[in-house]
Amino acid sequence: MPAKKKSRKVLRCPTCGGLVRPGDEDFPFCSDRCRQIDLGKWASGVYKISSPVLDPEVLEDLGGLTGHGKESKDD
């Protein structure tokens, strides 16, 4: 019986679709240019996290950051 070859998963750059190796310096991108393009898309609002945050602990932490959290009545 012949030995099975280990199948390698083909990894592609999320920006341009070029082939990427896990050991590459810019992984998971193929280049610094693609990394910067992706960062720009996040910064400009093209990419969004669509699911709401439902964890009460996280919501409480976020409330303090945005100024919409519970205010203390110690004053």
Distance (Å, rounded) from C-alpha 33 to C-alpha 31? 5
Instruction: Report which of residues 69 and 63 the model is more confident about.
Output: 63
Q: What is the pLDDT of residue 65?
A: 58
Question: Does residue 41 belong to any structural domain of this protein?
Answer: yes
Beta bridge partners of 20: 11
Specify the pLDDT at position 8.
74
What's the pLDDT tens digit per position in 15-65? 999 999 998 899 999 999 999 999 999 999 898 877 776 778 877 877 765
Q: How many Cα atoms occupy the beta-carbon half-sphere of 19 within 13 Å?
A: 4
User: Does residue 63 sit within a domain?
Assistant: no
Would 37 be classed as within a structural domain? yes
**Within-domain flag for 20:** yes
For residues 44 and 72, give the distance between their C-alpha atoms in angstroms, rounded to a whole number: 35
Total number of domains constituting the chain: 1
- pLDDT at site 75: 47
Whether residue 66 is contained in a domain is answered as: no
pLDDT at 57: 82
- Say which residues have a Cβ less than 8 Å from residue 10's Cβ, sequence separation at least 6: 19
Task: Say if 65 falls within a structural domain.
Answer: no
Give the domain range for residue 40: 10-47
Tell me the CATH number at 31. 3.30.50.10
36 Cβ partners below 8 Å, 6+ apart? none
